[in-house]
Amino acid sequence: MIRIKNKTECCGCGACVQICPVRCISMREDAEGFAYPHADADACTGCGLCEKVCPVAVRRPERAPLRTLAARNTDETVRSVSSSGGIFLPLARKVIRMGGVVFGARFGDDGDVFHDFTADEDGLYAFTGSKYVQSMIGESYVRARDFLRKGRPVLFTGTQCQIKGLRLFLMKDWDNLYTADILCHGVPSPAVWRAYLNAAVCPPSSAVAGPADGPLEISFRDKSRGWKNYRVVIRSQGREVLNEAHSDNLYMRMYLADLMLRPSCHECRAKDGRSGSDLTIADFWGIDRLMPALDDDGGTGLILINSSKGVSLFQDALKDGAEQAEVRIDAARPFNGGFQPERHVPAGRRRFFRRFAAGKEDIMRLFSDTLNPTPAVRLWLSFVHRLRKRTGRLFDAL
């Protein structure tokens, strides 16, 4: 029976929930807003399947990519709706034209993020763009297995831990399965995202047009002013309710400072090829220094091709539709923090979530206080941080 003794031992993929033959496991949000499995001990049969499919518990060796590429789609319309190089859409279209199905993360009308699938090319656009929130997998692994059993090609996209969870859940290799993961910085709390979104689109006083009154259109990586200077844009019924540079946006500042990541993200066990994905897609930060000829500030992708199946899909989908060049992975690695399997836990993280769980403070004020602590708080956080480094202990006093 699955038991989570330390929050770093669960990435929230939900593989254990979906594999359980008696459905005795459910996901519940904790005080930080991250979902963890809870098993009904009375209903559990002790089969052990939940532990066998856990991507944190099951260790895999590192695996180097077969090829590493800088790539960007030559179709500017496709690239404009993508976070970086516009590589996902051609891959997904290829699978659908093979009679297949594509799984990916999408926004709901209320801004929640969840996994879904489509067999329609028009439906792929919901999966484009970055979603800096942990997606709810739901029954996606079960549905993917159903399609695979029927002989249909499946492209499943997600974070590295989600792809590792899928592959463990399936328990065997499938010739008709293609997987692509993102080089993940980490996933923020869905509850924090909901609190922020509510405050951002329904502010008590604002210079924007007013609160949202319909389905939300959200872009974490709007490139209207360039790929490097991307913006966070939220629209409702065609009207902008928020438009901020990522460097000014409080949510993005918290995310990029690692202040609201899932605990397991600080000790990720799915990076360095351990997920088993066929392809890994990332932003090619540093392209302006390594390959300036491929940098037009419109977005360039870093593609890690990890398997022969990935080579075949990439070549078939993008042989005539992308500018690409080989690059050494060691040259690209220093520019992208997503390669790091371990991320330092910031001194203010524990304090932020403790105050967030209390539910008594405005989220924007809480963000500001966490990002810009008073001199007294900075001194205290610095002291505790030094003490932790020296002793290796975690103090509940923070």
For 194, the domain range is: 190-259+346-391
Same domain, yes or no, for 232 and 293?
Answer: no
pLDDT at 210: 46
pLDDT value for 387? 65
Tell whether 177 and 208 lie within a shared domain.
no
Which uninterrupted H or E stretch holds 34?
A: none
Q: What distance in Å separates the CA atoms of residue 12 and residue 35, rounded to the nearest whole number? A: 6
Whole-angstrom distance, CA of residue 295 vs CA of residue 227? 10
For each successive 10 residues of the chain (398 residues), what is the average pLDDT? 92 98 96 97 96 96 96 94 94 97 96 97 96 97 98 98 98 97 96 96 55 80 95 92 96 97 96 97 96 95 97 93 94 93 90 96 96 74 64 48
CA-wise closest residue to 189 among 52, 302, 395, 357:
357
The letter for the amino acid at 147 is F
Which tokens hold the place of 383? 């002291």
Burial category of 109 from C-beta neighbours within 10 Å (exposed 0-12, middle 13-18, buried 19 and up): exposed
Residue 59 located in a structural domain: no
Give the angle subtended at the CA of 80 by the CAs of 113 and 218, to the nearest 5°.
25
Residues 155 and 232 in one domain: no
pLDDT (0 to 100) of residue 393? 46
Residue 128 belongs to some domain of the structure = yes
Taking the C-alpha atoms of residue 300 and residue 386, their distance in angstroms, rounded to an integer, is 39
User: What per-residue confidence (pLDDT) applies to 203?
Assistant: 65
Overall number of domains in the chain: 3
> Tokens 């966490």 identify what position?
370
Q: Give yes or no: residues 128 and 176 share one domain.
A: yes
- In a domain, residue 365? The reply is yes
Per-residue confidence (pLDDT) for residue 383, from 0 to 100: 67
User: Are residue 90 and residue 177 in the same domain, yes or no?
Assistant: yes
Shared-domain flag, residues 214 and 82: no
CATH of the domain at 23: 3.30.70.20
Distance, CA of 78 to CA of 282 (rounded, Å): 16
105 in a structural domain: yes
Query: CA-to-CA distance for 252 and 232, rounded, in angstroms?
Result: 8
Q: Phi and psi dihedrals of 281, rounded to 5? A: -115, 135
Token pair in block for residue 202: 């329904």
Structure tokens at 10: 């669960």
User: Of all helices (H) and strands (E), which one includes residue 242?
Assistant: strand 239-245
Question: Does any domain span residue 197?
Answer: yes
Tokens 């919901």 belong to residue: 126
Residue 102 and residue 236 in one domain: no
pTM metric for this prediction: 0.92
User: On the CB side of 249, how many CA atoms lie within 13 Å of its CA?
Assistant: 25
Q: Look at residue 314 in the predicted model and tell me its pLDDT.
A: 97
- Looking at the fold, whether 138 and 285 belong to one and the same domain comes out as yes
* 8-state DSSP, 15: H
Give yes or no: residues 213 and 132 share one domain. no
Q: Give the distance, in angstroms, between the CA of residue 349 and the centroid of all CA atoms in the same chain.
A: 19
Residue 274 within a domain: yes
Same-domain pairing of 86 and 147: yes
Asked if residue 2 belongs to a domain, the reply is no
Alpha-helix runs per DSSP H in 113-219: 140-149, 160-170, 190-201
75 and 157 belong to one structural domain: yes
**Alpha-carbon distance 280 to 161, whole Å?**
12
The pLDDT value recorded for residue 319 is 84
Which tokens belong to 337? 């923090």
Q: How far apart are CA 176 and CA 170, in angstroms?
A: 12
78 and 226 share one domain: no
Q: Residue 62 domain-assigned?
A: no
3-state secondary structure 201-239: HCCCCCCCCCCCCCCEEEEEEECCCCCCCCEEEEEECCE
At 240 the three-state DSSP class reads strand
Q: Which of 159, 164, 162, 166 is nearest to 185 (CA)?
A: 159
